Amino acid sequence: MDIVFRAAFAYVFIVFVMRVMGRRELSSLSPADLILLVVLGDLIQNGVTQSDMSMTGVTIAISTFVLLTIAFSYVSYKSTRVRKVIEGEPLIVVQDGRPIERTLRSERLTLEDVMAEARGAEIEHVDEIKWAVLEAGGKITFIKR
């Protein structure tokens, strides 16, 4: 039962860390971020199962993660409030050709980051953007003027 509690704590902590990291970082993992996630997985495994190297311990830990993932998914499907906390909301980063500096700063984005994505959407200048929306998954979508 101890493994279940440690796995549940680790799961909630991982969700928290992913939300703190920010949505932009999650959509474009750098090599350093990928290394961090791999090492984090190993550290969490050690913290969850401690010295329990049995298949039972691993099965219990993995099952706890799967059940919590399903539970969080179901609760977020049913509750808008929980969905906003777990997944976040889309944020407008450019409106009518003007960058929203406060939002860019809070999401650790630069106008150059936004314009790099805009070029991929065949937008050459910020003045051509009616809205640029940072989606909950980290992708930026554009609506042209």
Read off the pLDDT of residues 78-104 as tens digits, 9 standing for 90 and up. Answer: 998 988 887 788 999 999 999 999 999
pLDDT tens per residue across span 22-76: 655 555 565 556 566 666 677 677 777 677 667 777 778 778 878 888 888 888 8
Q: Which of 7-21, 67-81, 127-141 has the lowest mean pLDDT?
A: 7-21
Give me the CATH code for the 91-144 domain, please. 3.30.240.20
The pTM for the full model equals 0.62
CB of 114 closer than 8 Å to CB of 140: yes
| pLDDT at residue 113 is higher than 80 | yes
